[in-house]
Amino acid sequence: MFLDIIVLTIVVVIVFAANLMMRHKGYIVPGKTIVRCSKGHLFITTWIEGYSLKAVRLGSLSRYQYCPIGKHWAIVHPVKESALSNDERKLMSHHSKSL
């Protein structure tokens, strides 16, 4: 029982640290994150580093998941808000209000 608590604590600390590093690099994680699929579509998904229910994790900055814009499965990457064009930023702002 005590060992289980220690392991759980270590996992929580690692996930927290990974999310903190991602945020420090300019990504909006954990939570609703802007991602771009391999075909260029932008959409918002829940991104929690170290955890995934609806995607296959492929490292810290890649996942394989369903793209609701193109209606296909693709590799997706989080997008820094600073890397978006003004039009993309407006589009994502509109979509985030509808969540």
Q: How does strand 72-78 pair with strand 63-67?
A: antiparallel
Instruction: State the pTM of this model.
Output: 0.69
* pLDDT interval class at 98 (50, 70, 90): very low
* Model pLDDT, residue 97: 52
**Tokens encoding 18:** 């990974």
Q: What is the rounded distance in angstroms from the CA atom of residue 75 to the CA atom of residue 48? A: 16
pLDDT digits (tens, 9 = 90+) for 2-47: 888 888 888 778 777 776 777 667 666 677 889 999 999 999 998 8
Q: Count of domains in the chain?
A: 1
Higher-confidence residue: 87 or 28? 87
Which structural domain, as residue segments, surrounds residue 15?
2-97
Whether residue 84 is predicted with pLDDT greater than 50 in this model: the reply is yes
